[in-house]
Structure 1
């Protein structure tokens, strides 16, 4: 696995949900805050997005994609919305239109609006660095994979096609990967943009993520990255914010937490999979990190 894939898979839960929305004329809808990530794909027309909390309005055009990684509440409207006009916004649930029948008269706008369920207790720092609103404009030649995913989504939404019930959520999963990938390519600032641009740090992270249970040492990891131990320590710590072995410990415990959350495999198996020599060794490290034993953690998260 690579870092971006792991960062996404660690927090993602279940399958995404989506609704198609077609509106026309004067309209303004509110989407409530969500304990996950929201997204919008503008399939046709143009509109505006105004995030809660005084964020800057965002103008959206056909083919634009928006990701709201922390599920911030927001308003979608036919044009710029002043704070004093927000009272006219109606709940999204009252106007979403699964049958895609236009509402109102005038210029028509068509959107695919949806949500991803996310587990926020162990967010990878790459995902934590995403801004409140990630706006990916439809520009010629930019992010061809994302553009292809948007085109495929539009086609799947046209009519009832065999296999659509499986194709649509799978495409939405791909959309999340492509949105995060596009952001890492476009971001002008941020620690993880620099991390992924550094070949030494990226090589070390790729090795750790590919085989987290291996018996890693600083010397072996430096050899994998093709540099000296001192060079690796300096560059990795400066960019990632913690030394390589400290990052490995954090990542192993994050993987252990995910296995405890998602499966019923014995603790001994979880320990083996995450590089701990025994259930006791994992339990000791896990309790120090989470403040509870693996067994109690599993009971709590699986009970909801």
Structure 2
């Protein structure tokens, strides 16, 4: 069972992260010497922190401090604040606000004072502690299911991922296309960590995730994810997975928590919400991609479920 879930996890995570991939993520290399303490209040939906050199502590919101050692990778789900420090008792020296603005605790600007070159920041260029941080700036709609499946924070101990030194090497370069390279490396690092995390016994996987290991419901979910534009019915889906309509409806609802067509509607609208973030995508084109016959049909469903029209959603995402 665990092995089937592990194999299914690859497809699920790839599908969930394929749409809302990092776009101009904020990446930074931080170099410090003890004593140091940073409070992060940027309200980012998701952040990845990797310890490249030295040790420190993660001080989550409403949780006990967690040690961070060389090779550890932490993933933090916003918007709650958290702190990183050499010791839990060290007073805060810098506060990171939304918009990548950094100040002292009393509000004095630190951005220029602590600037150490391309994507590098800190009080000492030769500091004994080096951390990499990558922040997803926008909560992509497809990732809501993923974010809801994650704890407020997790730490992958001694991840030993070749992506960490590669990211450390690339983060200080300033070459054409560098932003795209860093975005993709951040995505790969996040997927690698989460793929391992979801297979650990302590990971509290959501019902829809665990359902992918079921031989019937898992096949149905993969069909819906793989071809959301197809005019699915419960009968057509049941025929595709070789069970009766009633058996699929009952088993799907028991394992996923909602009926097949309700799940499909949510998935289609999540995909549409993410696709609408692309400036060149028309509502009609997005409607066809996610299984609605007209722009009007998508707009009606979108506004009914989300309270705003696709155009209003696009405008909000752009702002």
Shift of 1:233: 2.4
Conservation of the 8 A alpha-carbon contact between 2:58 and 2:66? yes
Deviations 1:159-187 (A, max 9, x none): 77897554333211212222332222224
Which sections of structure 1, spanning at least 5 residues, go unmatched?
Answer: 141-146
Residue of structure 1 in register with 2:250 after alignment: 234
SS at 2:198's partner residue? helix
Q: Does 1:91 align with 2:84?
A: no
Q: Could you tell me which of 193, 198, 203 is aligned with 1:188?
A: 203
Aligned residue number for residue 99 of structure 2:
none
Alignment map for 1:67-82 (pairs within 5 Å): 67-81=75-89
Task: Tell me if 1:116 matches 2:124.
Answer: no
Aligned counterpart, 2:273: 257
Gaps in structure 2 of 5+ consecutive residues:
1-9, 97-101, 103-109
Contact 1:63 1:137 in 2 (8 A): yes
Distance 1:208 1:160, change over 3 A: same
- Is 1:41 paired with 2:78? no
Q: Indicate which of 144, 157, 160 corresponds to 1:137.
A: 157
- SS of the aligned residue for 1:212 comes to coil
CA distance in 2, matches of 1:266, 1:170: 26
CA–CA distance in 2 between the matches of 1:122 and 1:106? 40
What residue in structure 1 maps to residue 262 of structure 2?
246
**Whole-Å separation in 2 of the counterparts to 1:66 and 1:24:** 20
Query: 286-295 vs 21-30, which deviates more?
Result: 286-295
> What is the CA–CA distance in structure 1 between the aligned matches of 2:186 and 2:308, rounded to whole Å?
35
- Quote the residue 2:107 is aligned against: none
Whether 1:62 aligns to 2:70 is yes
Per the TM alignment, residue 275 of structure 1 is displaced from its structure 2 partner at its CA by 1.1
Separation (CA, whole Å) in 1 of partners of 2:137 and 2:121? 27
Q: Number of residues paired by the alignment?
A: 292
Secondary structure of 1:263's counterpart equals: coil
Counting helix residues as a fraction of each chain, which structure ranks higher? 1
TM-score by length of 1: 0.82
TM-aligned CA distance change 1:148 to 1:236, over 3 Å? farther
**Given the alignment, which residue of 31, 39, 53 partners 2:40?**
31
TM-score (norm 2): 0.78
**C-alpha distance in structure 2 between counterparts of 1:263 and 1:101, whole Å:** 33
1:107 deviates by 8.4
